Structure 1
Amino acid sequence: MVLPQQIVIVDDERSVRNGLSNLLHSEGYTTNQFESGEELMRDIMALTGTALLIVDVRLKGMSGFELYAILKKHSILLPVIFISAEQDDSVQNYAHSLGAVTFLRKPIDVDILLDIIRDELSQGKAY
């Protein structure tokens, strides 16, 4: 039996977390949701078995970029999709410079998101 792949969602907007979680569940993924980077760091074991992160850039407290830098510093090298309502191209460029799978602007095109996730997770990378 193959277990579903887990995706961790970090966004301070409950509606975004729930919407993404429902979408991903309908596609056969499991999810774990966090309201902030600090909340995720308090439950770091939640990343065990995680295949991918979806992280909002603008969070209350530490930013999504800061969270990802801390994870990398601790050798937690998961693929990440950054999301944001931010329209500044420099934010997108910075996300890519960190090694993000991609950067998607809100509102998120769910078909594009699912295509990116399927493509990334089908590559058989071990994290």
Structure 2
Amino acid sequence: MTQARRIAIVDDEPSVRSGLSNLLQSEGYATIAFPSAEAFLNDGQAQPAIALVIADLKLKGMSGAMMFERLQLSPAPPPVIFISGHDDESWQRYAGKPGAVAFLRKPIDIDILLEYVQRVLANSEDNS
């Protein structure tokens, strides 16, 4: 039996992790949440089942941007939606890179997030 494709949420704020997870699950998506980039990258069992990553740019420890760079080294990296509550221009370096879907500022516009999620997951199903 294959594991369902999931959305990984990587954010060091517990309320953001649980809020996004609850929202996406209420829309029928399977999620898995991580408190840090390191926790996500070190979970070898979760990695193959990830269809999309929603990651904060500013994390304690490794940043979301550094995590993105590491993911790009894998044979089939998942697409990433960046989120941030900070007025940070570093995301612009990643905005045009393959695999970077969008940058959403916190508080996140839920309708826009769900539109991106739906589009990315529909595209990944079309390419499977």
Provide the TM-score with structure 1 as the length reference.
0.88
- 8 Å CA contact retained: 1:95, 1:102: no
Q: 1:40 to 1:113 in 2, by over 3 A?
A: same
- 8 Å CA contact retained: 1:95, 1:103: no
| Unaligned ranges ≥5, structure 2 | none
Provide the TM-score with structure 2 as the length reference.
0.88
Q: 1:71 to 1:110 in 2, by over 3 A?
A: same
- 8 Å CA contact retained: 2:65, 2:91: no
- The alpha-carbon deviation at position 21 of structure 1 amounts to 0.1
Hey, what does 2:45 align to over in structure 1?
45
Whether 1:9 aligns to 2:1 is: no
Hey, what does 1:64 align to over in structure 2?
64
- The alpha-carbon deviation at position 5 of structure 1 amounts to 4.0
3-state SS of paired residue (1:73): coil
- 8 Å CA contact retained: 1:81, 1:103: yes
3-state SS of paired residue (1:60): coil
- 8 Å CA contact retained: 1:4, 1:28: no
- 8 Å CA contact retained: 1:82, 1:95: no
3-state SS of paired residue (2:46): helix
- 8 Å CA contact retained: 1:6, 1:50: yes
Q: How many residues align?
A: 123
Q: 1:112 to 1:4 in 2, by over 3 A?
A: farther
Hey, what does 2:24 align to over in structure 1?
24
Hey, what does 1:113 align to over in structure 2?
113
Quote the Cα distance in structure 2 between the aligned partners of 1:5 and 1:80: 14
Query: 1:62 is matched by which residue type in structure 2?
Result: M
- RMSD (Å), alpha carbons: 1.6
3-state SS of paired residue (1:44): coil
- 8 Å CA contact retained: 1:4, 1:29: no
Quote the Cα distance in structure 2 between the aligned partners of 1:66 and 1:74: 14
Identity fraction in percent: 46
